[in-house]
Chains A and B, each alone.
Chain A
Amino acid sequence: DAGITQSPRHKVTETGTPVTLRCHQTENHRYMYWYRQDPGHGLRLIHYSYGVKDTDKGEVSDGYSVSRSKTEDFLLTLESATSSQTSVYFCAISESTGGGYGYTFGSGTRLTVV
């Protein structure tokens, strides 16, 4: 998707290993989000950021941490990956609060924990 890239696109990792997913934007948007998507569920919010070094938890934040040292990058870290964290992870950016305006999603990272 234009302006937002996620890396890697696919990853297989072993239980207990640390994993970091990267979201990079070129839109200079203030707000960035990490969601996970599992079968039978919509997207569920893990963590979000409302500025550099300003982050907060979403509804499914256990086992995840985030960092945002620059406007353009938002990192999601699984400190010790578990099989329950096998999922597709989406990053999103938005330019303002409220509405759906400017809410853009990346193409996703498929993570498999074995």
Chain B
Amino acid sequence: GESVGLHLPTLSVQEGDNSIINCAYSNSASDYFIWYKQESGKGPQFIIDIRSNMDKRQGQRVTVLLNKTVKHLSLQIAATQPGDSAVYFCAEINDNDYKLSFGAGTTVTVRA
């Protein structure tokens, strides 16, 4: 999707700190937004999703925030651990469509 200056391709985080990963999406008509985690040599793995009629959703150690006004999505990871080091992608999809559209990804590195 297009960048509005909020997306960073890399993020370095101290172990135990909270991480915030940002994503600017492109399609205001998307119904669902999803965060994926991709570890080296593996395919993307589902983390959490949020419907377009919500602005916040919490999971285990993760929270997704959606701001439709500025078409911005964020993923917050609490108490970041070494196992959280990965590339994180946001994706969007419509209810009556099959196809995910991905953002460029953010590489998160956790410092011990």
B91–A94 touching, CB < 8 Å: no
Number of A-B residue pairs with CB-CB distance less than 8 Å in the complex they form? 71
Chain A contact residue count (CB 8 A cutoff): 25
Chain A residue at minimum C-beta to C-beta distance from B89: A42
B48 to chain A, nearest CB (A): 9
For the complex, is B99 an interface residue (Cβ under 8 Å from A)? yes
For the complex, is A62 an interface residue (Cβ under 8 Å from B)? no
Which one of B31, B51, B102 has the highest number of Cβ atoms from chain A below 10 Å of its Cβ? B102
Cα distance, A92 to B99, chains bound together (Å): 10
Chain B contact residue count (CB 8 A cutoff): 27
A105–B43 touching, CB < 8 Å: yes
A41–B41 touching, CB < 8 Å: no
Indicate with 1 or 0, residue by residue over A24-68, a CB within 8 angstroms of chain B CB atoms.
Answer: 000000010100000011111100101000000010000000000
A98–B46 touching, CB < 8 Å: no
Among B32-53, those with CB < 8 Å from A are 32, 34, 41-46, 49, 51
Which one of B31, B43, B99 has the highest number of Cβ atoms from chain A below 10 Å of its Cβ? B43
B43–A98 touching, CB < 8 Å: no
Cα distance, A103 to B93, chains bound together (Å): 11
A43 to chain B, nearest CB (A): 5
**Which listed residue, B44, B46, B102, touches A44 by the CB 8 Å rule?**
B102
A103–B41 touching, CB < 8 Å: no
Cα distance, A100 to B89, chains bound together (Å): 13
Which one of A42, A92, A97 has the highest number of Cβ atoms from chain B below 10 Å of its Cβ? A42
Cα distance, A44 to B89, chains bound together (Å): 12
A95 to chain B, nearest CB (A): 11
B93–A108 touching, CB < 8 Å: no
**Residues of chain B at the chain A interface (Cβ within 8 Å):** 9, 31-32, 34, 41-46, 49, 51, 89, 91, 93-105
